[in-house]
């Protein structure tokens, strides 16, 4: 049933029917809350994978209810301090914060950020998104105490300098695509298609993989093309060989730049903490297209 919900939500979002997609997201969350307790231990992983999609969809309030229901199921099988239980509580808290139901001038926000840092790491996109929202709220409301220990809020809220991954200045060796992409759009689409090819290699796109892709796009100050092309459109481009066609434009880049691109691919592979052989094979293939050996990636 959840797979049907996911397909409907993705389809509606691709057609800009967000209200209908949100209704399905709410129904899925309600189903988890009311019937999730009947699930079995071997269903937990798949249920967590579905729950991760609420971040991608930006349906945070529905995600809170879903993860609360999933936490109750997980607690039937593992103690509260188990990694799965902590993960469920942390994501529920983060979604509450991002969805606007958590009072950002209360200590609970700091404890939520601490849980995110402990369970996902300081550099994790979900941690950074929540930190950015808290800092923005503090700046707007004046919630700060001069001289106080800023704790987890110590990171500056100023804009990060863009990381120039690749100099894609048009050159005689660069071939224009039929879509007439700008250099930045071309690089963004290449990273996005590479992410999909790698993440789909094992049959599952995890939230960690999706967030690594998102952060790579933001870090390089590139446009997010997901909504423009839609999930179906991006998969169609993969099937049509667009990733290889774009890779040909990177073949003439210097070795150092290719290694930088290779690092992005490596980040995607290890996003969920392990490297699936099928994902490694995808990286090896993509690297071959840009004239890089997988062994060159540090």
For residues 196 and 139, state if they share a domain.
no
Report the number of distinct structural domains present in the chain.
2
For residues 31 and 129, state if they share a domain.
yes
For residues 123 and 189, state if they share a domain.
no
pLDDT in tens, 78-101: 887 787 888 899 999 999 999 988
Predicted local confidence at residue 267, as pLDDT = 84
For residues 194 and 117, state if they share a domain.
no
Judge whether 61 and 218 are in contact, CB under 8 Å: no
Question: Is 126 within the bounds of a domain?
Answer: yes
For residues 57 and 126, state if they share a domain.
yes
Predicted local confidence at residue 139, as pLDDT = 55
Judge whether 271 and 206 are in contact, CB under 8 Å: yes
Q: For residue 63, how far is the Cα from the chain centroid?
A: 15
| Residue among 137, 125, 103 nearest 55 (CA) | 125
Predicted local confidence at residue 138, as pLDDT = 62
For residues 49 and 121, state if they share a domain.
yes
For residues 112 and 201, state if they share a domain.
no
For residues 103 and 188, state if they share a domain.
no
Question: Is 247 within the bounds of a domain?
Answer: yes
Predicted local confidence at residue 62, as pLDDT = 95
How far CA 17 is from CA of 13, 37, 56, 61, 180, in Å, comes to: 5, 31, 16, 18, 28
Question: Is 251 within the bounds of a domain?
Answer: yes
Predicted local confidence at residue 25, as pLDDT = 94
Question: Is 155 within the bounds of a domain?
Answer: no
Question: Is 174 within the bounds of a domain?
Answer: no
Question: Is 169 within the bounds of a domain?
Answer: no
Q: Where among 94, 114, 144 does a domain terminate?
A: 144
- Residue 136 phi, psi dihedral angles, 5° rounding: -60, -40
Question: Is 170 within the bounds of a domain?
Answer: no
For residues 140 and 190, state if they share a domain.
no
| Residue among 49, 84, 91 nearest 68 (CA) | 91
CATH code where residue 64 lies: 1.25.40
- Residue 264's domain comprises 183-296
Q: In the chain, which residues have pLDDT < 50? A: 140-172
Predicted local confidence at residue 179, as pLDDT = 67
Per DSSP, 285 falls in state: H
For residues 187 and 140, state if they share a domain.
no
**Token pair 């709410």 is at which residue?**
26
Q: Where among 97, 117, 144 does a domain terminate?
A: 144
For residues 38 and 140, state if they share a domain.
yes
Question: Is 112 within the bounds of a domain?
Answer: yes
């Amino acid at each position: 049933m959840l797979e049907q919900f996911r397909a409907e939500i993705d389809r509606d979002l691709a057609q800009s029917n967000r209200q209908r997609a949100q209704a399905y997201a709410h129904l899925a969350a309600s189903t988890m809350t009311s019937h999730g307790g009947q699930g079995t231990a071997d269903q937990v992983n798949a249920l967590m994978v579905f729950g991760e999609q609420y971040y991608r969809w930006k349906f945070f309030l529905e995600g809170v209810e879903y993860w609360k229901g999933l936490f109750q199921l997980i607690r039937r099988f593992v103690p509260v301090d188990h990694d799965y239980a902590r993960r469920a509580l942390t994501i529920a808290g983060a979604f509450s914060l991002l969805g606007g139901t958590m009072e950002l001038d209360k200590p609970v926000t700091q404890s939520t950020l601490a849980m995110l840092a402990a369970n996902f790491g300081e550099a994790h996109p979900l941690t950074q998104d929540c930190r950015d929202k808290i800092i923005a709220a503090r700046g707007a409301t004046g919630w700060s105490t001069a001289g106080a220990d800023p704790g987890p809020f110590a990171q500056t809220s100023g804009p990060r300098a863009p990381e120039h991954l690749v100099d894609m200045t048009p050159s005689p060796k660069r071939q224009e695509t039929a879509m007439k992409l700008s250099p930045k759009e071309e690089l963004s689409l290449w990273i996005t298609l590479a992410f999909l090819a790698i993440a789909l290699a094992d049959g599952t796109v995890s939230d960690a993989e999706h967030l690594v892709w998102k952060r790579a796009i933001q870090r390089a100050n590139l446009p997010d093309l997901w909504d423009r092309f839609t999930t179906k459109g991006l998969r169609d481009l993969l099937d049509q060989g667009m990733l290889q066609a774009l890779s040909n434009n990177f073949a003439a880049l210097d070795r150092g730049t290719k290694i930088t691109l290779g690092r992005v691919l490596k980040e995607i592979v290890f996003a969920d903490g392990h490297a699936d052989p099928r994902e490694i094979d995808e990286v090896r293939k993509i690297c071959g297209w840009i004239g890089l050996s997988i062994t060159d990636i540090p």
